[in-house]
Amino acid sequence: MKVALFIPCYIDQLFPEVGVATVKILRRFDVKIDYPLEQTCCGQPAFNTGYWLEAKTLAEKFLKIFSNYDYIVSPSGSCTSMVRIFYPEILKNKNIEEITAKFFELTEFLTKVLQVDSTGAEFNHSVAYHDSCHALRELGIKESPRTLLKNVKKIKLLEIEESDRCCGFGGTFAVKFPEISTEMAKSKVDNIIKTGAEFVTSTDSSCLMHIGGYMSKNGVKVKTIHIAQILANF
């Protein structure tokens, strides 16, 4: 199978280690991956802020770049949901859903396509799992990440109270309504602290960036780590 990697712009520039981890994991299962260099952004920031024309332009380009692959994998629930759920909203092509159905978030790809429930990783730490809203509610991703994490050797996996409560990022919402966004981060972080975990992880770096940003500013010692980085620890 021909698999391409889709690395969201913010992971590319801010958290490249997440991309590196993703490659490591896929190669562990002998998946031959391509990384088309023309890729930039799926268009979500524009779409979510109402700029659908701009989002559409990017979406069309985006699909062209990935048109020759059987699967496209991304370490981001949020970007994957943009393609699978929202592209059909702005691109009224006839078989759009067939095309977008090839896009998978990493943990989905592992458990549903490769049908594995472990990467053989080891992580001797306590880790709390945060459900990213897009991954959970748009893509129904709930069990895959937990299954994969549970099988990481020596890990202590913890559930956050109201694990599905929004972290408050919401894209441009975080800068348009910073006070509300920050209060939501506070609620999330208060719940994370209650677990006593050393790390908080998620399928989405955008959430982790927001949660982590709040924690650093407020001297909270919990560290953020993307799920790919844990699963790649072999």
**Contact positions toward another protein, by CB under 8 A?**
7, 9-17, 19-20, 23, 35, 37-41, 43, 45-52, 54, 57-58, 61, 89, 133, 137-138, 164-166, 168-185, 187, 209-210, 212-214, 216-217
Write down the number of H helices and E strands in the chain.
14, 8
Q: Smallest gap, in angstroms, from Cβ of residue 134 to another protein?
A: 8
Q: Least distance from C-beta 92 to another protein, angstroms?
A: 13
- For another protein, which is the closer residue by CB, 178 or 196? 178
Strand segments, DSSP code E, in 39-187 are 71-74, 103-105, 126-129, 156-159
Minimum CB–partner distance for residue 167 and another protein (Å): 8
By C-beta, is 83 or 155 nearer to another protein? Answer: 83
Instruction: List the one residue out of 121, 150, 130 whose CA is nearest residue 203.
Output: 130
Tally the residues of the chain.
Answer: 234
Q: Given the complex with another protein, which of 22 and 157 has the nearer CB atom?
A: 22
Rank residues 54 and 198 by Cβ distance to another protein and give the closer one. 54
CB atoms near residue 165 (< 10 Å): 15
CB of 148 to another protein, least distance (A): 22
Record the tokens describing residue 189, joined without a space.
């972080």
In the complex, minimum distance from the CB of residue 141 to another protein, in angstroms, rounded to a whole number: 13
* 11 or 72: CB nearest another protein: 11
CB of 19 to another protein, least distance (A): 4
60 or 198: CB nearest another protein: 60
Start-to-end Cα distance in the chain: 24
Q: Where are the beta strands (DSSP E) in the chain?
A: 3-5, 33-34, 71-74, 103-105, 126-129, 156-159, 199-202, 223-226
Query: Which residues, 6+ apart, have CB-to-CB distance to 158 below 8 Å?
Result: 126, 127, 128, 129, 195, 196, 197
